Structure 1
């Protein structure tokens, strides 16, 4: 069960393993995408391309859906970024047999946005966690956790790709070594749990009263959505990449530089940030040097 790109790696790893019989894919409904045409999720498209039966039910919590699983003699259900809440009917029928991939160091960062929060908080490492689904929010026992280092230049896109690949391996291991891992499973410590929220557009607004590290972490976390932004002459300008700059006694939100050599440097709480990749409304994202070859950005002003 899965829908977005993040689910694909696990699906591909399971499908290509000779010890796994992947007999059913469950995904979200077709949606209007490019040019207002209805298109399947990438997971559904993979299933079609690989001749795997695929369903897109309104709900997986019906007796009708459960009977389909029983007819197919399904042993395990794997869930990766599926989007539907799995309820008691299915939980009882497949007790301890529904395995979820959660890209965080559980019990840290339960909820819908673990990768973004990992980057927002400047963590140096994280995990791909294979856990049993139960009634609680990402609170089930952990079968396997694999650690990954986070590089300074990692953003949401690159870290998601790494966790997607590592997560697929973690899920595969959890199924092939299920009995052993079930005996050794680790109960989560709810007292150490932290929770994430759904990411909203408003969260992307940059506050230059923050440190350069906090601002750059926001840019890294929100590089796909909603993209970190600031206001410049009544336009919301998005930043897709930035680097830290040392400035003594910095002026908050002051534009120190705006030229093709220095790029755009803006002051913040403990120094400044150099904008490496920028996007103006209605324009394509581009590296700042190229942008400044054909566009002006005013130096020596305070941003709105």
Structure 2
């Protein structure tokens, strides 16, 4: 198949991995769409998306509309005379008129084995629910949310202690490779597209900082999965003096729970970490970040704050209003 004339729509690091793979291929990227520059971080400094940074490094025209509803952006896309539009974690809805513009339609790289975990946060949801495998699906886009026909998929095991960030990086690399495989023989893959099954559909709703607050009444395994899933974003936390104390790393305690252990209360404090009672046992918190401080191993944190965590006391503020 001859090289394709493409536009690429994406925003975060996950998308940048796919853009780089396409740039390294024989196909031509004539324009990149990415979300507008936004203020982020403590200083609210305006930041460019990773996709924009990569595109400008390669001298590719960058389009940053607030949405794809306007006549101007639609005409710009129409004038590109695209063979296909590649969409990876773009973050904006693609209207049907835009989906219909490219000669061969629009493709999406999605970080799950569809139809499981359609939606915004498939990587983290897979870990929080204790899935043992995930993967990538390359699909042809349609108006529904991640409902289009599947062109290619490949599974990937989830490590027992793997964090959301670690799995993100492996899936980004896998998705980029699969995307180029499909682009290299796109018409054949389109001819053999497979409809998603009706069974097994789940939705990966967008992450929020509020849901990252830990409720120690949950089972130990559920809490452990949340902590690793939400590392590095939005990061699990509990309130300490009205401010979030972040919990970056933990492990499951081998000790069985006792009936009189109140969830959220500290059972032991030693160099291995802070042992906290859960709904069915105990969790060992190994790496914390006090409000306004850097993240630290608990053993190091305790040297500077030896009296901060007391056995028998709740971890942080009361959990009654969780």
Counterpart CA distance in 1 for 2:15 and 2:231 is 19
CA contact (8 A) 1:96 1:133 kept: no
* Secondary structure at the counterpart of residue 274 of structure 2: strand
Counterpart CA distance in 1 for 2:239 and 2:60 is 48
- Normalised to the residue count of structure 2, the TM-score between the two structures is 0.88
* Secondary structure at the counterpart of residue 161 of structure 2: coil
CA 1:235–1:299: 2 relative to 1, 3 Å: farther
How far 1:233 sits from its partner (Å)?
Answer: 5.6
Alignment match, 2:303: 293
CA contact (8 A) 1:139 1:190 kept: no
Counterpart CA distance in 2 for 1:287 and 1:196 is 31
How far 1:291 sits from its partner (Å)?
Answer: 0.7
CA contact (8 A) 2:256 2:282 kept: no
Normalized per residue, the structure richer in helix is 1
- Normalised to the residue count of structure 1, the TM-score between the two structures is 0.93
User: Where in structure 2 are the equivalents of 1:82-231 lying within 5 Å?
Assistant: 82-94=90-102, 97-231=105-239
Alignment match, 1:283: 293
Alignment match, 1:255: 266
Counterpart CA distance in 1 for 2:49 and 2:314 is 44
CA 1:173–1:268: 2 relative to 1, 3 Å: same
Structure 2 unaligned spans of 5+ = 1-8
CA contact (8 A) 2:272 2:286 kept: no
Task: Answer with 63-72 or 248-257: which moved more.
Answer: 63-72
Are 1:48 and 2:56 an aligned pair? yes
Task: Answer with 123-132 or 240-249: which moved more.
Answer: 240-249
Alignment match, 1:246: 254
CA contact (8 A) 2:164 2:230 kept: yes
Counterpart CA distance in 2 for 1:78 and 1:274 is 43
Counterpart CA distance in 2 for 1:83 and 1:59 is 10
CA contact (8 A) 1:10 1:165 kept: yes
Alignment match, 2:5: none
Are 1:237 and 2:236 an aligned pair? no
CA contact (8 A) 1:131 1:141 kept: yes
* Secondary structure at the counterpart of residue 300 of structure 1: coil
* Secondary structure at the counterpart of residue 238 of structure 2: strand
Task: Answer with 215-224 or 241-250: which moved more.
Answer: 241-250
* Secondary structure at the counterpart of residue 24 of structure 1: strand
How far 1:271 sits from its partner (Å)?
Answer: 2.1
Counterpart CA distance in 1 for 2:254 and 2:280 is 8
CA contact (8 A) 2:16 2:51 kept: yes
How far 1:235 sits from its partner (Å)?
Answer: 4.7
* Residue number among 24, 30, 47 corresponding to 1:23 in the alignment: 30
CA contact (8 A) 1:227 1:240 kept: yes
RMSD value, Cα: 1.8
CA 1:235–1:62: 2 relative to 1, 3 Å: closer
* Residue number among 68, 72, 86 corresponding to 1:60 in the alignment: 68
Task: Answer with 204-213 or 227-236: which moved more.
Answer: 227-236
Alignment match, 2:275: 265
Alignment match, 1:11: 19
Counterpart CA distance in 1 for 2:183 and 2:71 is 25
Counterpart CA distance in 2 for 1:300 and 1:36 is 40
